[in-house]
Amino acid sequence: MVIYATANTLGGVLMKVWQINVGVLIALLYNVIVFSCIPITQGDLIRVSQNISGGTYYVNLRDWGIALPLLAVFTLIMLISPTQPSLKKFAVITNLYFMLTLVDPMNPVSKTVLKDISNSSSYYGTANLLKQLAIYTVVGMVGTFIAVLVMLFPYPIFATRKLQRQIAASPHDIRDILNLIVDSYCFRAKDIKKMDFFKLRLDRLLSNAHERLTLMESLLGDCWWEEVVGLGACLHFNKSITKKFVKLYAKLLSDLHAMKFSIEAETCHWTHVVLLKKMQTRFYVLQAEANDLLEDISIKINQSSESTPSAKFVSLERELERLMAKYTALYGNLLSADVHSAEDVGKTMPLNVFVYSFHALVITLLDFEGQLNQKDFPARYRVKNFLKLTWRSLLLPVSYPRKLIIFGFRTTLAVIIGICFSTFIFAFSATAPIAIALVADNNIGGTYVNTVNRLAGLVAGTVVPSVVNFFVCKASDDYLYNLLNNMMIFVWIVGSMYVWFGGRSIAVAGTTSAFMTASVLLDHSCRNTITATVSYASLTQNALGILILIIVEIVVHPRSSRGLLRSNLQQLLTQYRGAFHDVFSHHIAYNQPMPTSSTRLTEADVKVANALLSRRNVKALKDQLKVAIPTMLRTQAKLVNDAALEPTLWKPSFSTSKYTNIFNVCRELVEQLGILVDLVEWHENRRNSGKDKRLRRWGRSRLDVECTAAFSAAQEPTSPMSTEAAAVAKKTASPTKRSPRSPLSKLTAMSPAVAKELWDQSLAAVETGVEETFDTLVTLFGEEFSTSNAEDHAIYLQMKEAFRIADVHRRGVVDASELAVLLEKLMPYSGSQRIDGMEQYVDEFMQLVDKDHDGQISFNEFMQALNDGFRLELEIYDEQPQVEVADLLGGKKGSQRNLLASPSSRTYPQT
């Protein structure tokens, strides 16, 4: 047990010691209760002469038949219980060893003689065996505390000290990243896309910061165990306070990612130059004060203080409001400049996102004081709350998911089969079913990975030590034998545990190798009888148990890691779509004017009211993005590793790089959705608090001179040829100087009704486009595309895009008139003239695709035509740099699309 109780810190060791000891005690208590009620007899004995040991032993069918269902029930209940995996496994494997030992009718010392059970108090009676097993349990528990002593001497390794060092260093991460972002954004002279060194450095700093965050989150659990035993008071540590700081650090990193996103979207427009020249000082002051405040907070947290420096909070909040007031005034003057156009509003969006994310970062720091003060920290409250949550988790249906129940039934069946083999082949040895319980996982990929690691550990811990032990046993002197044997134990276990502490995917192999090495080399029976096959008995039984588990998982509800990975991606994309729809609809509805009580509610008003999210819904949405989806992403990362090691067989080869890129995209998507949700919440909080200031367009801008100069500088050519052309143009131009005419005149002349219609059409196009993209991706990761290649995906996307363009009324079907208009519009060679024979072409197209001859084509018919070999190729030609939304939706102008539809005589076979 010492091997399985090891960890990196004292808190981790205490956690494993607790889980192991509780699991063993549960198994012991269960056996005491069962065998106190059910007596062991020697009746109905059958003789087993054909077995792997070559000897003869007996099996009591009555006792074995009674114990087997009880053992299966205990195994099933433990496997589906919402407890820690270590507790489950040690309870199951201990119960297996205890029950098989008690129902074995043979003498444990002499396997050819039956046990003397004439009375329960005899040496091998049930009562005495239970006492011996209790002593065995106590010895094992004492052994686990050896691991605790190892972590204390000669130098204690406390998780609390590690976490405090990480907290002390974390403000420097935020300072370095924030300084790099602000300095590069406010004082840079070129585009971010050309600053390769900046990008590499920023990515490295963010990666290091996330590694620190992961380490701090992992240390929090270990620190709790150290605090439970009283080390929290000695080391000035309070987990509740520290956990608040870890959450603060995570939120600051999220805000920094939003700032990075704004920098990457920045195009260095002339408006960027004008605004930042006026805002550089404010950004620098706010940046310096935010860094200093975070440094002070980290010092207070390490001192376990429940109060924070309030004076600096007030100063930082004052500087923040000054920045926002100045930015609002400057932006209003920018909109009033003569050279400003409607297109320039879009160009300033990255700067707006940067200001928001900087504001959100500072607000995160300002809110920390209130969050810290409203937390209840007494130990009595925390213990009571912990017990209440633990008891509640046992009763919640969500704690018993379907996959956990299937895993429990499947593993229990494999354990029962293993017990049958251990009873009738291995003379009641519990090694095979114990191997099944240790290796079992909830999918084939995970089981296969554990199987490979465990077999590697078995070979490393059995074969080499057995060979060494064979020669060491030849030593004539006992002192020499003990010296060489102990040296081998030390060296091999140190090497095995080094593999485990490395934390890589083969960590399980390290613990298995260490355990098997101790089992082989601590068996000194070779000093009496040298048997070359003795050391390999455990290897045979473990291999058989693993084989049984693999066969059961393949037969009973088989789920491959690939299928689980694609299902995970579908669930993620579905949640992304729902989250985007909710936050987008809520934001649009929130900015709509609310009807008064005297007016009659219209259908649009009801739709707006239904789109608004309550505070509970907003909190649930944030929990989904911060907790549920990150958990699914961690599962996805594990499934990618498992699927890479899963046997391919008849399936196409698994592309690890492809799904790794998909995982990175999914992680970026949840970050962007988090930014969107935080932005909407930030906007509403600013408006509700009264701090939000509406923009004003002035009659005359105070930045007119700066804007004109920046606009002119942005128009200057950079190449030598362009410079010469500009010089010639300057000489031939009229000497009369004209100030640039504002392109806002067209926008100003537009009526409010037309402007609102264009705005609504733009919103509908964006929302529909994003949601249809998510739906398409969900389909691509479905079961029907599990064996498809890239060409099949491209063809499907072409069909999807063609149907989307044709279905202008969004009815889900396309008729002949829409198809004719579509083909006339998309043929690049048609020009402004009609194509000859269009009706015949449409008829041939409809005959190929419209299978039910109802005059309409659904998307399912499109897909059926694709499956039958019909191919539709779509090419998009952009002739204009920007397409008006109204023209795009109306279908009068915009980009031309070429639809090459092959008639029946020219259909392309599917490849």
- Encode pLDDT of 19-69 as tens digits: 999 999 999 999 999 998 888 887 778 888 877 766 788 898 888 999 999
Assigned architecture for domain 160-388? Up-down Bundle (1.20)
The whole-angstrom distance between residue 59's C-alpha and the CA centroid of its chain comes to 50
Residue 827 has what pLDDT? 57
Residue 870 has what pLDDT? 61
Question: Which of the two residues, 777 and 695, has the higher pLDDT score?
Answer: 777
Strand partners, 873: 900
Please state, for a pLDDT cut of 70, what percent of the chain lies above it.
83
**16 touches 2 (CB < 8 A):** no
Return the structure tokens found at 359: 């504001």
> Domain-by-domain residue ranges, the chain?
1-157, 160-388, 400-559, 560-593+603-716+750-787, 790-911
Taking residues 868-887, what's their average pLDDT? 47
Q: Is the pLDDT of residue 494 over 70?
A: yes
Find, among 729, 705, 704, the residue nearest to 716 by Cα.
729
Residue 598 has what pLDDT? 59
Residue 876 has what pLDDT? 46
Residue 529 has what pLDDT? 56
What is d(CA 316, CA 322) in angstroms, rounded to the nearest whole number?
10
Question: Which of the two residues, 351 and 741, has the higher pLDDT score?
Answer: 351
Find, among 106, 137, 133, the residue nearest to 429 by Cα.
106
Convert the pLDDT of each residue in 443-456 to its tens digit.
666 677 777 787 88
Q: Give residue 250's pLDDT band: very low, low, confident or very high (50, 70, 90).
A: very high
What is d(CA 351, CA 349) in angstroms, rounded to the nearest whole number?
5
According to DSSP, the β-strands at 45-48 and 57-60 are: antiparallel
Convert the pLDDT of each residue in 355-391 to its tens digit.
989 999 999 999 898 888 776 656 677 778 778 888 8
E strand spans, 401-459: none
Taking residues 759-765, what's their average pLDDT? 83
Residue 22 has what pLDDT? 94
**192 touches 264 (CB < 8 A):** yes
What is d(CA 630, CA 676) in angstroms, rounded to the nearest whole number?
16
What is d(CA 445, CA 647) in angstroms, rounded to the nearest whole number?
9
What is d(CA 815, CA 157) in angstroms, rounded to the nearest whole number?
74
Return the structure tokens found at 13: 């060791």
Query: For all residues of the chain together, what is the average pLDDT?
Result: 81
Query: Residue 870 half-sphere exposure, CB side, CA atoms within 13 Å?
Result: 23
Convert the pLDDT of each residue in 597-620 to its tens digit.
656 667 777 777 788 888 888 888
Instruction: Say what the pTM is.
Output: 0.81
What is d(CA 623, CA 629) in angstroms, rounded to the nearest whole number?
9
**819 touches 829 (CB < 8 A):** no
Taking residues 808-815, what's their average pLDDT? 76
**Lowest-pLDDT range of 35-39, 248-252, 573-577:** 35-39
Find, among 83, 260, 235, the residue nearest to 161 by Cα.
235
Q: Is 106 helix (H, G, I), strand (E, B) or coil?
A: strand
Q: Is the peptide bond before 903 cis (omega within 30 degrees of 0)?
A: no
Taking phi first (over 0 means left), then psi (-120 to 50 degrees means alpha), and beta for anything else, what does residue 746 get?
Answer: alpha
Find, among 355, 347, 354, the residue nearest to 326 by Cα.
355
**455 touches 514 (CB < 8 A):** no
In 781-834, which ranges are continuous DSSP H helix?
A: 790-806, 816-826
Question: Which of the two residues, 248 and 804, has the higher pLDDT score?
Answer: 248
Residue 750 has what pLDDT? 67
Q: Is the pLDDT of residue 409 over 90?
A: yes
DSSP secondary structure code for residue 856 in this structure: E
Phi, psi at 874, each rounded to 5°: -120, 125
Residue 789 has what pLDDT? 83
Convert the pLDDT of each residue in 251-268 to its tens digit.
999 999 989 888 888 877
**235 touches 167 (CB < 8 A):** no
Assigned architecture for domain 790-911? Orthogonal Bundle (1.10)
Helix 431-439 vs helix 85-103: crossing angle, to nearest 10: 170
Question: Which of the two residues, 447 and 197, has the higher pLDDT score?
Answer: 197
Find, among 693, 594, 70, the residue nearest to 359 by Cα.
693
Find, among 364, 366, 370, the residue nearest to 254 by Cα.
364
Residue 536 has what pLDDT? 65
Residue 33 has what pLDDT? 94
The Cα-based distances of 486 to 108, 736, 764 in angstroms read: 27, 99, 75
Torsion sign over Cα 177, 183, 189, 191: positive
Q: Give residue 883's pLDDT band: very low, low, confident or very high (50, 70, 90).
A: very low
Helix, strand, coil fractions of the chain, as percent rounded to 5: 70, 5, 25
**Lowest-pLDDT range of 217-226, 771-780, 783-792:** 783-792
DSSP secondary structure code for residue 440 in this structure: -
Return the structure tokens found at 239: 């987990």
Find, among 571, 573, 681, 696, the residue nearest to 621 by Cα.
681
Gap between the terminal Cα atoms of the chain:
58
Q: Give residue 830's pLDDT band: very low, low, confident or very high (50, 70, 90).
A: very low
Q: Is the pLDDT of residue 277 over 90?
A: no
**320 touches 364 (CB < 8 A):** no
What is d(CA 78, CA 75) in angstroms, rounded to the nearest whole number?
5
Residue type, 731: K
Q: Give residue 649's pLDDT band: very low, low, confident or very high (50, 70, 90).
A: confident
Q: Is the pLDDT of residue 439 over 90?
A: no
Residue 897 has what pLDDT? 34
Q: Give residue 877's pLDDT band: very low, low, confident or very high (50, 70, 90).
A: very low
Strand partners, 46: 59
Q: Is the pLDDT of residue 532 over 70?
A: no
Taking residues 165-186, what's their average pLDDT? 93
In 629-655, which ranges are continuous DSSP H helix?
A: 629-645
Query: What's the full length of the chain, in residues?
Result: 911
Q: Which residues contact 889 (CB under 8 A, 6 or more apart)?
A: 761, 765
What is d(CA 106, CA 57) in angstroms, rounded to the nearest whole number?
7
Convert the pLDDT of each residue in 79-115 to its tens digit.
999 888 889 989 999 999 999 999 988 888 777 788 8
**Lowest-pLDDT range of 130-134, 503-507, 654-658:** 503-507
Q: Is the pLDDT of residue 579 over 90?
A: yes
Find, among 129, 122, 127, 167, the residue nearest to 303 by Cα.
167
The whole-angstrom distance between residue 100's C-alpha and the CA centroid of its chain comes to 41
Taking residues 283-295, what's their average pLDDT? 93
Residue 486 has what pLDDT? 93
Q: Which residues contact 311 (CB under 8 A, 6 or more apart)?
A: none
Find, among 314, 327, 322, 289, the residue nearest to 186 by Cα.
327
Angle at 25 between CA 19 and CA 30, to 5 degrees: 130
Taking residues 714-726, what's their average pLDDT? 51
Q: Which residues contact 305 (CB under 8 A, 6 or more apart)?
A: 241
